[in-house]
Protein backbone atom coordinates (compact mmCIF):
# COMPACT_ATOMS: atom_id res chain seq x y z
CA UNK A 1 0.00 0.00 0.00
CA UNK A 2 1.37 3.39 -0.99
CA UNK A 3 1.43 5.84 1.91
CA UNK A 4 1.22 9.60 1.51
CA UNK A 5 4.04 11.83 2.71
CA UNK A 6 1.69 13.19 5.38
CA UNK A 7 1.09 9.69 6.76
CA UNK A 8 4.79 8.81 6.62
CA UNK A 9 5.78 11.91 8.59
CA UNK A 10 3.03 11.29 11.15
CA UNK A 11 4.08 7.66 11.63
CA UNK A 12 7.73 8.59 11.90
CA UNK A 13 7.13 11.26 14.53
CA UNK A 14 4.65 9.08 16.47
CA UNK A 15 6.99 6.06 16.53
CA UNK A 16 9.85 8.26 17.74
CA UNK A 17 7.79 9.67 20.58
CA UNK A 18 6.32 6.23 21.42
CA UNK A 19 9.81 4.76 21.67
CA UNK A 20 10.83 7.45 24.16
CA UNK A 21 7.65 7.03 26.23
CA UNK A 22 7.92 3.26 26.46
CA UNK A 23 11.60 3.58 27.30
CA UNK A 24 10.62 5.68 30.33
CA UNK A 25 7.91 3.12 31.25
CA UNK A 26 10.45 0.31 31.02
CA UNK A 27 12.85 2.21 33.25
CA UNK A 28 10.16 2.70 35.91
CA UNK A 29 9.13 -0.97 35.76
CA UNK A 30 12.72 -2.19 36.04
CA UNK A 31 13.19 -0.02 39.13
CA UNK A 32 10.23 -1.80 40.78
CA UNK A 33 11.13 -5.36 39.79
CA UNK A 34 11.72 -6.37 43.45
CA UNK A 35 8.07 -5.50 44.31
CA UNK A 36 5.79 -7.66 42.12
CA UNK A 37 2.54 -5.90 43.00
CA UNK A 38 3.97 -2.43 42.46
CA UNK A 39 5.67 -3.69 39.30
CA UNK A 40 2.41 -4.93 37.77
CA UNK A 41 0.56 -1.76 38.82
CA UNK A 42 3.22 0.50 37.32
CA UNK A 43 3.33 -1.54 34.12
CA UNK A 44 -0.44 -1.33 33.67
CA UNK A 45 -0.81 2.31 34.64
CA UNK A 46 2.26 3.64 32.83
CA UNK A 47 1.68 1.43 29.80
CA UNK A 48 -1.88 2.60 29.33
CA UNK A 49 -0.80 6.23 29.84
CA UNK A 50 1.99 5.86 27.27
CA UNK A 51 -0.45 4.26 24.83
CA UNK A 52 -2.97 7.08 25.31
CA UNK A 53 -0.28 9.72 24.89
CA UNK A 54 0.98 7.96 21.74
CA UNK A 55 -2.50 7.97 20.21
CA UNK A 56 -2.88 11.65 21.10
CA UNK A 57 0.49 12.47 19.57
CA UNK A 58 -0.49 10.60 16.40
CA UNK A 59 -3.76 12.51 16.04
CA UNK A 60 -2.19 15.90 16.77
CA UNK A 61 0.74 15.15 14.43
CA UNK A 62 -1.58 14.10 11.60
CA UNK A 63 -3.56 17.33 11.99
CA UNK A 64 -0.49 19.58 12.24
CA UNK A 65 1.26 17.93 9.29
CA UNK A 66 -1.95 18.22 7.28
CA UNK A 67 -2.13 21.93 8.03
CA UNK A 68 1.49 22.35 7.08
CA UNK A 69 0.99 20.52 3.77
CA UNK A 70 -2.20 22.34 2.80
CA UNK A 71 -0.30 24.97 0.77
CA UNK A 72 1.45 22.13 -1.09
CA UNK A 73 -1.93 20.63 -1.95
CA UNK A 74 -3.05 24.04 -3.20
CA UNK A 75 0.07 24.22 -5.37
CA UNK A 76 -0.58 20.74 -6.81
CA UNK A 77 -4.24 21.57 -7.52
CA UNK A 78 -3.43 24.84 -9.26
CA UNK A 79 -0.48 23.36 -11.17
CA UNK A 80 -2.78 20.71 -12.65
CA UNK A 81 -5.00 23.42 -14.11
CA UNK A 82 -2.08 24.96 -16.04
CA UNK A 83 -1.57 23.49 -19.50
CA UNK A 84 0.48 24.24 -22.62
CA UNK A 85 -2.63 25.82 -24.15
CA UNK A 86 -2.94 28.33 -21.28
CA UNK A 87 0.28 29.31 -19.52
CA UNK A 88 -1.04 32.69 -18.43
CA UNK A 89 -2.17 31.43 -15.00
CA UNK A 90 0.09 31.62 -11.97
CA UNK A 91 0.14 29.76 -8.66
CA UNK A 92 -1.20 31.77 -5.73
CA UNK A 93 -0.91 30.36 -2.22
CA UNK A 94 -1.86 32.41 0.85
CA UNK A 95 1.17 32.16 3.09
CA UNK A 96 4.35 34.03 3.86
CA UNK A 97 6.46 34.55 0.78
CA UNK A 98 9.70 34.41 2.78
CA UNK A 99 9.54 30.70 3.71
CA UNK A 100 10.50 27.65 1.66
CA UNK A 101 7.01 27.27 0.17
CA UNK A 102 7.03 30.90 -0.88
CA UNK A 103 10.35 30.36 -2.60
CA UNK A 104 8.97 27.22 -4.28
CA UNK A 105 5.91 29.10 -5.57
CA UNK A 106 8.07 31.97 -6.87
CA UNK A 107 10.38 29.50 -8.63
CA UNK A 108 7.47 27.64 -10.23
CA UNK A 109 5.86 30.88 -11.38
CA UNK A 110 9.16 32.02 -12.89
CA UNK A 111 9.46 28.71 -14.72
CA UNK A 112 5.88 28.95 -16.02
CA UNK A 113 6.59 32.50 -17.16
CA UNK A 114 9.65 31.38 -19.11
CA UNK A 115 7.67 28.53 -20.65
CA UNK A 116 4.91 30.98 -21.57
CA UNK A 117 7.41 33.20 -23.40
CA UNK A 118 9.02 30.21 -25.14
CA UNK A 119 5.69 28.73 -26.25
CA UNK A 120 4.56 32.12 -27.53
CA UNK A 121 7.78 32.57 -29.48
CA UNK A 122 7.51 29.08 -30.98
CA UNK A 123 3.88 29.63 -31.97
CA UNK A 124 4.66 33.02 -33.50
CA UNK A 125 7.75 31.66 -35.25
CA UNK A 126 5.82 28.72 -36.71
CA UNK A 127 3.07 31.00 -38.00
CA UNK A 128 5.54 33.48 -39.47
CA UNK A 129 7.65 30.72 -41.04
CA UNK A 130 4.56 29.22 -42.65
CA UNK A 131 3.64 32.66 -43.99
CA UNK A 132 7.15 33.23 -45.37
CA UNK A 133 7.13 29.87 -47.16
CA UNK A 134 3.55 30.26 -48.38
CA UNK A 135 4.22 33.46 -50.35
CA UNK A 136 7.00 32.14 -52.65
CA UNK A 137 5.15 28.85 -53.06
CA UNK A 138 2.05 30.75 -54.19
CA UNK A 139 4.19 32.69 -56.69
CA UNK A 140 5.68 29.44 -58.02
CA UNK A 141 2.23 27.89 -58.35
CA UNK A 142 0.86 30.94 -60.15
CA UNK A 143 3.76 31.20 -62.61
CA UNK A 144 3.62 27.49 -63.46
CA UNK A 145 -0.16 27.57 -63.85
CA UNK A 146 0.08 30.62 -66.11
CA UNK A 147 2.77 29.00 -68.26
CA UNK A 148 0.64 25.86 -68.77
CA UNK A 149 -2.51 27.68 -69.86
CA UNK A 150 -1.40 28.09 -73.45
CA UNK A 151 1.60 27.29 -75.64
CA UNK A 152 4.44 29.84 -75.59
CA UNK A 153 7.66 30.38 -77.47
CA UNK A 154 11.05 29.41 -76.08
CA UNK A 155 11.84 32.95 -74.89
CA UNK A 156 8.64 33.12 -72.81
CA UNK A 157 9.35 29.73 -71.23
CA UNK A 158 12.92 30.81 -70.52
CA UNK A 159 11.70 33.97 -68.78
CA UNK A 160 9.23 31.92 -66.72
CA UNK A 161 11.95 29.45 -65.70
CA UNK A 162 14.24 32.31 -64.72
CA UNK A 163 11.52 33.70 -62.45
CA UNK A 164 10.91 30.27 -60.96
CA UNK A 165 14.63 29.84 -60.34
CA UNK A 166 14.72 33.13 -58.43
CA UNK A 167 11.81 32.09 -56.24
CA UNK A 168 13.36 28.66 -55.60
CA UNK A 169 16.61 30.37 -54.60
CA UNK A 170 14.68 32.48 -52.09
CA UNK A 171 12.99 29.39 -50.70
CA UNK A 172 16.32 27.59 -50.35
CA UNK A 173 17.73 30.55 -48.46
CA UNK A 174 14.78 30.63 -46.05
CA UNK A 175 14.97 26.88 -45.41
CA UNK A 176 18.75 27.03 -44.97
CA UNK A 177 18.44 29.81 -42.41
CA UNK A 178 15.67 28.00 -40.54
CA UNK A 179 17.77 24.84 -40.38
CA UNK A 180 20.75 26.79 -39.09
CA UNK A 181 18.68 28.35 -36.30
CA UNK A 182 17.28 24.91 -35.38
CA UNK A 183 20.72 23.26 -35.30
CA UNK A 184 22.66 26.08 -33.66
CA UNK A 185 21.83 24.73 -30.18
CA UNK A 186 23.72 21.48 -30.76
CA UNK A 187 26.79 21.07 -28.47
CA UNK A 188 28.93 19.99 -31.44
CA UNK A 189 28.84 23.56 -32.77
CA UNK A 190 30.68 24.96 -29.73
CA UNK A 191 32.92 21.89 -29.43
CA UNK A 192 34.47 22.71 -32.83
CA UNK A 193 35.69 26.18 -31.76
CA UNK A 194 39.36 27.03 -32.32
CA UNK A 195 41.52 30.19 -32.43
CA UNK A 196 40.66 32.21 -35.57
CA UNK A 197 41.97 35.50 -36.97
CA UNK A 198 39.05 37.90 -36.64
CA UNK A 199 40.81 40.54 -38.75
CA UNK A 200 41.07 38.13 -41.71
CA UNK A 201 37.39 37.26 -41.37
CA UNK A 202 36.50 40.96 -41.39
CA UNK A 203 38.61 41.61 -44.51
CA UNK A 204 37.09 38.62 -46.35
CA UNK A 205 33.55 39.78 -45.50
CA UNK A 206 34.45 43.29 -46.66
CA UNK A 207 35.69 42.02 -50.03
CA UNK A 208 32.65 39.76 -50.47
CA UNK A 209 30.28 42.68 -49.84
CA UNK A 210 31.79 44.86 -52.59
CA UNK A 211 29.53 43.44 -55.30
CA UNK A 212 26.34 44.09 -53.32
CA UNK A 213 27.53 47.60 -52.45
CA UNK A 214 28.16 48.41 -56.13
CA UNK A 215 24.73 47.06 -57.03
CA UNK A 216 23.07 49.42 -54.53
CA UNK A 217 25.39 52.33 -55.28
CA UNK A 218 26.64 52.37 -51.69
CA UNK A 219 30.21 53.30 -50.70
CA UNK A 220 31.90 50.57 -48.68
CA UNK A 221 34.62 51.93 -46.40
CA UNK A 222 37.21 50.01 -44.39
CA UNK A 223 38.17 51.60 -41.10
CA UNK A 224 40.85 50.50 -38.65
CA UNK A 225 41.39 46.73 -38.67
CA UNK A 226 43.52 45.50 -35.75
CA UNK A 227 45.07 42.04 -35.67
CA UNK A 228 42.87 40.07 -33.27
CA UNK A 229 42.45 36.36 -32.56
CA UNK A 230 39.32 34.93 -30.91
CA UNK A 231 37.96 31.47 -30.10
CA UNK A 232 35.24 30.44 -32.51
CA UNK A 233 34.15 28.91 -35.76
CA UNK A 234 35.51 30.69 -38.83
CA UNK A 235 32.53 29.90 -41.07
CA UNK A 236 29.99 31.08 -38.51
CA UNK A 237 31.87 34.31 -37.82
CA UNK A 238 32.13 35.01 -41.56
CA UNK A 239 28.39 34.52 -41.83
CA UNK A 240 27.77 36.84 -38.89
CA UNK A 241 29.84 39.71 -40.29
CA UNK A 242 28.53 39.18 -43.83
CA UNK A 243 24.90 39.28 -42.68
CA UNK A 244 25.40 42.58 -40.85
CA UNK A 245 27.23 44.13 -43.81
CA UNK A 246 24.56 42.96 -46.28
CA UNK A 247 21.78 44.27 -44.06
CA UNK A 248 23.49 47.66 -43.72
CA UNK A 249 24.03 47.95 -47.48
CA UNK A 250 20.46 46.96 -48.36
CA UNK A 251 19.03 49.60 -46.01
CA UNK A 252 21.41 52.35 -47.07
CA UNK A 253 20.53 54.91 -49.75
CA UNK A 254 22.75 55.33 -52.84
CA UNK A 255 25.89 57.46 -52.35
CA UNK A 256 25.81 56.79 -48.60
CA UNK A 257 28.58 55.00 -46.70
CA UNK A 258 28.87 51.72 -44.80
CA UNK A 259 32.02 51.36 -42.69
CA UNK A 260 33.57 48.21 -41.20
CA UNK A 261 36.07 48.50 -38.33
CA UNK A 262 37.88 46.21 -35.90
CA UNK A 263 39.66 47.67 -32.90
CA UNK A 264 40.75 46.95 -29.34
CA UNK A 265 39.17 49.43 -26.93
CA UNK A 266 39.94 49.36 -23.20
CA UNK A 267 40.90 45.71 -23.30
CA UNK A 268 37.81 44.67 -25.31
CA UNK A 269 37.70 43.63 -28.96
CA UNK A 270 35.09 45.61 -30.89
CA UNK A 271 34.00 44.76 -34.43
CA UNK A 272 31.58 47.39 -35.70
CA UNK A 273 29.50 48.15 -38.80
CA UNK A 274 28.34 51.76 -39.18
CA UNK A 275 25.98 52.93 -41.91
CA UNK A 276 24.41 56.20 -42.99
CA UNK A 277 21.11 54.52 -43.73
CA UNK A 278 17.52 55.16 -42.75
CA UNK A 279 18.01 54.19 -39.12
CA UNK A 280 15.68 52.21 -36.87
CA UNK A 281 12.88 53.64 -34.75
CA UNK A 282 13.20 53.16 -30.99
CA UNK A 283 10.19 50.83 -30.77
CA UNK A 284 11.87 48.38 -33.16
CA UNK A 285 15.34 48.29 -31.58
CA UNK A 286 14.51 45.55 -29.07
CA UNK A 287 12.97 43.28 -31.72
CA UNK A 288 15.16 43.52 -34.82
CA UNK A 289 17.12 40.42 -33.76
CA UNK A 290 13.97 38.30 -33.38
CA UNK A 291 13.31 35.58 -35.93
CA UNK A 292 11.23 36.70 -38.92
CA UNK A 293 10.79 40.20 -37.51
CA UNK A 294 11.01 42.97 -40.09
CA UNK A 295 10.88 46.70 -39.45
CA UNK A 296 9.43 47.34 -42.92
CA UNK A 297 7.80 44.26 -44.45
CA UNK A 298 7.30 45.81 -47.87
CA UNK A 299 10.92 46.93 -48.13
CA UNK A 300 12.15 43.54 -46.98
CA UNK A 301 10.11 41.84 -49.67
CA UNK A 302 11.74 43.98 -52.29
CA UNK A 303 15.22 43.20 -51.06
CA UNK A 304 14.43 39.51 -50.70
CA UNK A 305 14.77 39.49 -46.93
CA UNK A 306 12.82 37.12 -44.73
CA UNK A 307 13.76 38.60 -41.38
CA UNK A 308 16.17 35.79 -40.48
CA UNK A 309 19.54 37.41 -41.17
CA UNK A 310 19.80 39.40 -37.92
CA UNK A 311 18.36 36.51 -35.89
CA UNK A 312 21.24 34.39 -37.19
CA UNK A 313 23.67 37.20 -36.33
CA UNK A 314 22.39 37.28 -32.75
CA UNK A 315 22.58 33.51 -32.40
CA UNK A 316 26.16 33.31 -33.70
CA UNK A 317 27.22 36.15 -31.42
CA UNK A 318 25.67 34.38 -28.43
CA UNK A 319 27.45 31.14 -29.30
CA UNK A 320 30.76 33.03 -29.36
CA UNK A 321 30.15 34.81 -26.07
CA UNK A 322 30.22 38.31 -27.49
CA UNK A 323 27.72 41.05 -26.75
CA UNK A 324 25.78 42.77 -29.53
CA UNK A 325 25.24 46.50 -29.18
CA UNK A 326 22.78 48.25 -31.45
CA UNK A 327 22.59 52.03 -31.70
CA UNK A 328 20.44 53.85 -34.22
CA UNK A 329 19.12 57.32 -34.97
CA UNK A 330 16.19 57.43 -37.42
CA UNK A 331 17.27 59.26 -40.56
CA UNK A 332 20.95 59.30 -39.58
CA UNK A 333 22.16 55.71 -39.49
CA UNK A 334 22.81 52.62 -37.42
CA UNK A 335 25.77 51.11 -35.62
CA UNK A 336 26.05 47.41 -34.84
CA UNK A 337 28.99 46.46 -32.62
CA UNK A 338 30.20 43.03 -31.46
CA UNK A 339 32.16 43.16 -28.23
CA UNK A 340 34.50 40.46 -26.91
CA UNK A 341 35.80 41.07 -23.37
Extents of the domains making up the chain = 5-80, 127-183, 188-340
Of 276, 272, 267, which is closest to residue 317 (Cα–Cα)? 272
Domain over 188-340 is classified CATH 3.50.50.60: no
Evaluate whether 229 touches 195 at the Cβ level (below 8 Å).
yes
CATH topology identical between 127-183 and 188-340: no
Evaluate whether 277 touches 296 at the Cβ level (below 8 Å).
no
Level-2 CATH architecture, domain 127-183: Orthogonal Bundle (1.10)
Of 40, 16, 19, which is closest to residue 28 (Cα–Cα)? 40
Helix then strand count (H, E) for the chain reads 11, 7
How do the pLDDT tens digits run along the chain, 341 residues long? 667 777 777 778 788 877 877 777 676 666 656 656 666 666 677 677 777 878 888 888 888 877 777 777 777 777 777 776 677 777 776 655 556 777 778 888 888 888 887 777 677 767 767 766 777 788 888 888 888 888 888 888 888 888 888 888 878 877 777 777 766 665 656 657 899 999 999 999 999 999 999 999 999 999 999 999 999 989 889 989 998 999 899 889 899 999 999 999 888 999 999 999 888 887 777 778 776 666 654 444 444 444 677 888 888 898 888 999 999 988 889 999 999 98
Q: Are strands 333-340 and 323-329 parallel, antiparallel or unpaired?
A: antiparallel
Q: What angle do CA 112, 117, 122 make, to 5 degrees?
A: 120
Across the chain, the runs of DSSP E, i.e. the strands, are 194-197, 219-225, 229-232, 257-265, 268-275, 323-329, 333-340
Q: How far apart are CA 118 and CA 113, in angstroms?
A: 9
Amino acid sequence: MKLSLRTKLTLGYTLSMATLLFAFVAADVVALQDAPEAWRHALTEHGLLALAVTVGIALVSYYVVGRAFRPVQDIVHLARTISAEDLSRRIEVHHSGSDELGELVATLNDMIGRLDVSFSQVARFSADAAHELKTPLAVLHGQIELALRQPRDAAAYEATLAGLLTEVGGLNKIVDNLLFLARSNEPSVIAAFAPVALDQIALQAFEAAQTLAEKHGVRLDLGTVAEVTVEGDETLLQRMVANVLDNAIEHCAPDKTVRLSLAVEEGATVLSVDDEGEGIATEHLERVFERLYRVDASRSKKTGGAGLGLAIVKRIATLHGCAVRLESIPGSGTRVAFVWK
